[in-house]
Structure formats: C-alpha cells, structure tokens
Amino acid sequence: MSVAAIDCGTNSVRLLIAEVDAAGILHEQLRIMRIVRLGEGIDRTGEFSQSALSRLFGALDEFGALISQAGVEQVRFVATSASRDARNRDEFLAGVRTRIGVDPEVIPGTEEAALSFVGAVRGLPTGLVRLPALVVDIGGGSTEFVLGETAPRYSVSVDVGCVRMTERHLASDPPTAAEISATRADIRAAVARAGQTVPFDEASTLVGLAGSVTTVAAMALDLPEYDETVLHGSVITARQVAEVADAFTAMTRAQRAALPYMHPGRVDVIAGGAMVLDEVMVATGAEQVVVSETDILDGIVYSMGN
C-alpha cells in the first residue's frame, strides 16, 4: 500500500510518499520540502499571518497534485509546534482539508517526539546507534527530546527552535554579542527543563534530526553541496558543533546565503538552530552526534504501516 505523510512545522512543510513492506522496511518514492515559514511572527502575535497561510496553501496545492498522481491510498497530515500555538488555527485546518482531503492532526509534543524517535532510529544504518539513544529534533518552533531503545521511554518538547529564537532575539546582521548571549540563555534554560524529564545521562548515543542539524553537519564536513547521502549517518563532534555555531553567528545573512549547502529558507534562522544544537551538546555532555535524514516523516509512514 502506498501512503503519504505530511509534516507541517513552523518553518517547513514536507511530503513523503512511500510503502512499508511486510518486513517493516520503508521504500521511499518521493520526499520533498518547501520552506513556507508558517510560524512567522506567531511568537509575537499568537496567530498565523495571512501571508504565511498563503505560502502554506500554495505548497499544499502542489502536494495534493503529487498525492493524486501517485495513487496514494492513505494520507496522514501531522501539524506540530506553530499549529499548537495559533489562535486562528481553524482557518489553517479548513485550508488543509480542502487541499489534501484529510483532517490535519495537531499533535502534542510528546507524540511528535515519539514519531521522530521511531523514524530516526529505524532509518539509520544498523550498528551505528548504541541504545538507549537520545533523539533530539530541532524544529522551527520547538525542540523534542526523546530517550529510548526500540520505543521511547521518556520524552519532552520545549519551545525553543530556530525560527522562534531568531524572531525573539537575533535582530541584527550579524547578531550582536548581547543578542547571542540572550539566545543562549533562553536555550540553556529550556534544555535544562528538558533534562528534568528526560535523563540525558542514560543515553549511549545522541542522534540529531532536522534541517538545523543537517546544515551544521554540512558545514562541519565542508561539503561542496547539500548531499543527504553523505549527511545521513554522518558523525560530528561537539567541538565541530561549537565551531560551526560560532561561525554562523559571526556571519552576515549574505555570507550564509553564499554557502553551497545552505537552503535559502534557512539562511536567516540557521544561527539560532546551530546554537540550540550546541547547547544540547553541552548540557548532555555528548562528545558527538549522529546525524539522521530520516525523522518524523518516516515515523508517520511507519505509524500507517503498522
């Protein structure tokens, strides 16, 4: 059975069309991402802007056509941080229903964490991850922490992400020392709260998900272009993460935009995302992080294949 998973986050909306066979192996047919910045301004206003909804609905028109062409039999649409926060989410829900033909699920952070955990751990090469694993998913509006073996044992979601931190603190180009300090203090407090629920010290492996993590890895590895086949399963050290975070915060937007692996939609928010990853490395004491290109999308597909 061909299924489609849609992950609608604060910064991007993504589609995965795939099949899960009888052995539980995922066979990817199509995976695409569109940066729509749905959560633009939501930390300040508490609601979706009309321009953000317009960008999202344009992407969903495209996704709907692709789903139709693929003959998909089941669709699951999952919405995360920004959609939990918005006062005017009914307009968002109706727009999704019209374009995709399903009711979107605005899931809690704990379910987001569980789906991300399954997608990441099952999608990484065998033997790369020693269990228990701590999976950290750095999104636009929130960051999820989940610890477990084959399934989550502890999970928590905190409201720090690359878009939220950028809008809240990083107004200058490049950011000032005071802005960087305020960002790090905000992140550090949130990660400490996460550590009260999830026992970081029980983890044998730290796994990092989402665009902030993969872009940090691309810079650490000095890639000539963004290459998910190189990035998936790559391992970067805490020192590399710290160096990249410092480099991104020292650059102007134009300098970040000129990097060959930088997605245009991440240019203005990557410094915030990199600082989240750096503070996670410090708080957990992890010497390295395993980078995963499989994530919540894969977890959503597995949830339909079970």
pLDDT greater than 90 at residue 247: yes
- pLDDT digit string, tens, across residues 118-161: 999 888 887 889 999 999 999 888 898 999 998 899 999 898 99
35 conformational bin, left if phi > 0, alpha if psi -120 to 50, beta if neither? beta
pTM of the full predicted structure?
Answer: 0.85
| Cα(254)–Cα(23) distance, integer angstroms | 47
Domain boundary among 107, 134, 165: 107
| Cα(66)–Cα(289) distance, integer angstroms | 34
Domain residues for 74?
A: 2-107
Residues 156 and 67 in one domain: no
CATH number at residue 193: 3.30.420.150
Domain tally for the chain? 2
**How deeply is 105 buried, as exposed, middle or buried, from its count of CB atoms within 10 A (0-12, 13-18, 19+)?**
middle
Residues 274 and 126 in one domain: yes
- Cβ-Cβ contacts under 8 Å for 242 (sequence gap 6 or more): 278, 281
Sorting pLDDT into bands at 50, 70 and 90, what band is 81?
low
DSSP string covering 69-112: HHT-SEEEEEE-HHHHH-TTHHHHHHHHHHHHSS--EE--HHHH
Contact 8, 78 (CB under 8 A): yes
Owner of token pair 């957990």: 284
**Closest by Cα among 213, 199, 209 to 283:** 199
- pLDDT digit string, tens, across residues 5-15: 999 988 889 99
As separate numbers, helices (DSSP H) first and strands (DSSP E) second, the chain gives: 13, 11
